[in-house]
Amino acid sequence: NGDRIIEIGMIELENHVQTGKYFHQYLNPERPSSPEALKIHGLTSDFLKDKPKFIDIVDEFINFISDSIIIIHNASFDVGFINSELRRCEKVELNEKYIIDTLALAKKQFIGQSVSLDALCRKFNLDISHREIHGAIKDAKLLAQVYLELIGGKQTTLEFNSTKIFSDIDLELTHTNIEKLYKNN
């Protein structure tokens, strides 16, 4: 029905760890938002009117994703919009073999349960108190955490303590014990 992308937010994960690199852009959809959509994202036409169009940022977008695996919640919805914009710009569409849909993963893991992003955040005790409306970069950060939980969870037991762990006496005893081991061999 002619709907367009108004915001893109992606964060980079490398070996399942956030690198701090991200891509975030508000876009001028070149048409007014529907009242229903406005309730979800809160981005007014007035706010978006001076933002770049998708064609203005398409190369930066493509360079950011390069040949990466893309993790999306409800991928068919978002990929439809992205591929539509890519076609308008005469660019190659996203290859679905490089897309992981966390909605599909969650449906397999939580059969018959609600698997919206909010519901999954609650299941995994992730803080969504700052998420009154959908925002692409906020959602991407939450989705990264949800994805890690869906594939087995983050490691929560390893903690580093900045306080001094060993006293000088402990270290002296440790060196003494190591010396004894070498003498006995």
Burial code of 63-92, b = ≥16 C-beta within 10 A, e = fewer?
ebeeeeebbbbebeebbeebeebbeebebe
How many CA atoms lie within 13 Å of 46's alpha carbon, on the beta-carbon side?
0
Choosing from 24, 41, 134, 175, the catalytic residue is: 134
Residue 107 contacts by C-beta under 8 Å, 6 or more apart in sequence? Answer: 115
**Active-site residue, 134 included:** yes
Residue 66 φ/ψ region, left for φ over 0, alpha for ψ in the -120 to 50 degree band, beta for the rest: left
Which residues, in sequence order, are bridge partners of residue 23? Answer: 10
| 105/165 Cα distance (integer angstroms) | 41
Distances (CA, A) of 147 to 18, 80, 136, 161: 12, 21, 16, 27
Instruction: Enumerate the active-site residues.
Output: 134
